[in-house]
Amino acid sequence: MNYLILFMEGIITFISPCILPMLPIYISYFMGNNDESGKNKVFLNALGFVVGFSLVFTMLGAAAGTFGKYIKEYMNIFNIIAGLIMIIFGLSYIGIIKISILQRTLGFKNKAKVKNLNIISSIVFGTIFAIGWTPCVGTFLSSALMIAANSQHSLEGVLMLLTYSLGLGIPFILSALLIDSLKSTFNFIKQNYKVINTISGILLIIIGLMMMTGYLNMLLSFLSF
């Protein structure tokens, strides 16, 4: 049951305010500067990206399983810090505050800087994504790590976070494969980018406040039964 929950949490992370509005950017990165890139190239780049963030998340899972007892003791502190960072992300999405690193990530102007991706650079890109966006996807990632910590076994922690990564990664790969069918969706997101960002920012702030106050853990615990 835990593995099914973790897989679903991965899917929910994909459609969360942190990821879904950014999907056109990620797909454009996979394509490089050539909008007519072959599907094989886009698929391989998407696969490398998924492998990259999966490596980071599974290592976190191994650590959670190994040091589960200690992680549980400090989970409240982690939730407060992660919640605060999510609020900052949300304010940045809305445009109330400007953080240069986040602004560069949230913009559509970096396509040229990530041209000529290959499988290796895509894996590196995926690891950078995992490290840089961990606080933003921390809502469900922290829940996944909590489940892994409860196992108190490193191998189970790896398998659990691998399951979470598959739930997050499969939609990325499907988006790359269905890129032609999704072009109208990407265009809609681009045309309404500011509105979507504002809505996403508000949701991130709400989720961040719920993390800091402990209500989110209560909600996730309720949904787990």
pLDDT digits (tens, 9 = 90+) for 175-222: 888 877 777 776 776 677 678 778 877 887 887 888 788 776 676 566
The more confident residue out of 196 and 45 is 45
Handedness of CA 135, 141, 145, 147 (dihedral sign): positive
Question: Which among 18-27, 50-59, 109-118, 141-150 has the top mean pLDDT?
Answer: 50-59
Helix, strand, coil distribution of the chain in percent, nearest 5: 80, 0, 20
Q: pLDDT band at residue 136, thresholds of 50, 70 and 90?
A: low
Q: Percentage of the chain with pLDDT > 90?
A: 8
> For residue range 5-31, what is the model confidence (pLDDT) as tens digits?
788 888 888 877 777 777 777 777 777
**Cα–Cα distance, 186 to 174 (Å, whole number):** 14
How high is the pLDDT of residue 108? 41
Q: Are 158 and 65 in contact (CB under 8 A)?
A: yes
Burial class (CB in 10 A: 0-12, 13-18, 19+), 153: middle
Q: What is the pTM of this model?
A: 0.70
DSSP tag of 97: S
- Tokens 């909008």: give the residue: 35
Q: How confident is the model at residue 166 (pLDDT cuts 50, 70, 90)?
A: very high
Predicted pLDDT of residue 50: 92
pLDDT at 86 over 90: no
Judge contact between 169 and 52, C-beta under 8 A.
Answer: no
- What token pair was written down for 6? 């973790």
